[in-house]
A and B are shown apart, each in its own frame.
Chain A
């Protein structure tokens, strides 16, 4: 072999350094679990944390028993009084917040590497503007959104599926245009970012155009749709979002070495055998897809995709082996914490989570920026 290995050892100090990153991620998992239980236990009705855990565990076992030919022990002593609140309302909403946070953050971390741009996020490519335009289009042109108030102040869009589908189609359209441009001009980060900014402006202008001609009810429906809300998804929608997010996260994690290589420069990466153009193109497509599906179902949720990766970079560095799982956790924690705060703040009124993500995240992020990197 070319390199003599006689004096190569497992470097002790480096293993300790890596160990610290692993414990950071383990800490993140613990924090997320604690936050999940807390989030479910608080609200209009307080549920003791112990009973939250019992209800979730026994409910899960019952559902597994019903689905699969297995016979897990069922906790007979657990009361069923919280079943409806937990299983129908709070658990799906909390899980939606976590999954959406993970999906947006992982798309952001991939975009930042692929586009070699710290401002890279799913939004850089104009996807959220396209989704908002799709929603506006469906409400104003297709008439999906004659809203009416029912009950206290719950606003219902008549045909949420048309809005979702329109938002998704326009997100994909934006992705398709950028893919087409990269096919012609090559997948250079500059071309992608500038094309994304141009598309974003175009769709924003389109939305404004439609809004100008909308009546006040339609206008309210469009504005209401753009407030991303984790409470919008039911179990089957959550399942779909989760499936896409899991696939995307696995794909991005599988490419962690390639992103590290691209961070070192395109030429270095190519010298290391990375097919840079292909990694860039596929990564962009998957990041767009996961963003599009989340936004289509929940509405626009900004900030998470841009800032969570940067928070984690400041804490454990740019190595994607740890940055990707770290960003996922940060996204999940930030969105769940924001969602919990949004539910509690003006109780019994519930704010959409999108209003709070920036409120919760920006101060933390500015603090991290000011503090600089920790050694």
Chain B
């Protein structure tokens, strides 16, 4: 197991947001955290790299509890792609180079430059590399954000709604990149998702959150009409298309 989350609980001003979260993840797997708005998906993601401090529990990355590490040491193990990234007058190359921050002592080395260059080639960002990020589209910016997390050389990649605010083509492209990177390297990814169908297509494991705890977890088999009804409160059917499960939400009246 590359990631083992045990008994994580988080409260905000004495209100329990997350309780008894427990799951694990193998190498080269993508996990999607699913659930309605405000259920604590992003909070769980932020607890995993200690941006938020869980009240109790442990988060083991390769058998080491990250909650006992310093923020900079965590950043060498876990890359984080927030939902929104601010822009400035910075080239894509410099923005990605920033991902080397946890490894840089005083100045960048040749190795840092080479890692950035190889990730840029890997994500086919070569033509963007010297463009300024404040002139980029949402899709391009998201790729830069992912590239920045990758040059951290992380074991785990955390992505907060990586496809929100992207068009259809960019959604498919970004998730494809995440899947390929995870399969091709020794990393795993945990992402929060709203789109069940995209999640089904690009993830290996699923967690449904309800009322701050895990309602269901497992492979594709957990994505059932019953689970969706219980978690999101709307009826749905799960059909198959070319062997892939497809979720079709229904209107309340039709049930």
Interface positions, chain A 246-305, Cβ under 8 Å from B, are: 257-258, 260-261, 263-265, 267-268, 270-275
Could you tell me the distance between the alpha carbons of A9 and B115 in the complex, rounded to whole angstroms? 8
Q: Which of B80, B89, B120, B148 is in CB contact (< 8 Å) with A318?
A: B89
A367 on the B face (CB < 8 A): no
Which residue on B lies nearest to A9, using beta carbons?
Answer: B117
Give the number of chain A interface residues (Cβ < 8 Å).
Answer: 35
C-alpha gap A6/B81 in the complex (Å): 25
CB-CB under 8 A from B102, the residues of chain A are 272-273
Q: Are the C-beta atoms of B89 and A373 separated by less than 8 Å?
A: yes
Question: Which of A10-18, A32-40, A140-148 forms part of the interface with chain B?
Answer: A10-18
Closest chain-B Cβ to A255's Cβ sits at a distance in Å of 11
Q: Give the contacts of B30-88 with A (CB-CB under 8 A).
A: 46, 49, 51, 70-76, 78-82, 84-86, 88
Against B, the Cβ 8 Å flags (1 = close, 0 = not) of A1-27 are: 111111111110110010000000000
Task: Classify the interface of chain A: helix, strand, loop or mixed.
Answer: loop
Known: A4-B185, A268-B82, A272-B98. A263 touches B129 (CB 8 A): no
Alpha-carbon distance A313/B89, docked complex (angstroms):
8
Verify B118–A264 contact, CB threshold 8 A.
no
A3's partner among B81, B85, B104, B151 (CB-CB below 8 A) is B151
Check B220 for interface membership: any CB of A closer than 8 A.
Answer: no
* Contact yes or no, B82 A5, CB < 8 A: no
* A261 adjacent to B101 (CB under 8 Å): yes
Residues of B within 8 A of A257 (CB): 98, 101, 104
Q: Which residues of B contact A13 (CB under 8 A)?
A: 129-130
Answer whether residue A83 sits at the interface, using C-beta atoms and an 8 A cutoff: no
A170 to B104, CA, bound (A): 39
Instruction: Give the distance to chain A from B45, nearest Cβ to Cβ, in Å.
Output: 10
Verify B99–A272 contact, CB threshold 8 A. Answer: yes
16 new A-B contacts, CB < 8 A, other than A271-B49, A271-B82, A318-B89, are A1-B153, A3-B115, A5-B111, A7-B121, A8-B115, A9-B114, A11-B116, A14-B91, A14-B93, A264-B95, A265-B85, A265-B86, A268-B82, A273-B101, A317-B132, A319-B90
Question: Which residues of B approach A to under 8 Å, CB–CB?
Answer: 46, 49, 51, 70-76, 78-82, 84-86, 88-91, 93-95, 98-99, 101-102, 104, 110-111, 113-122, 129-130, 132, 145, 148-155, 158, 185-187
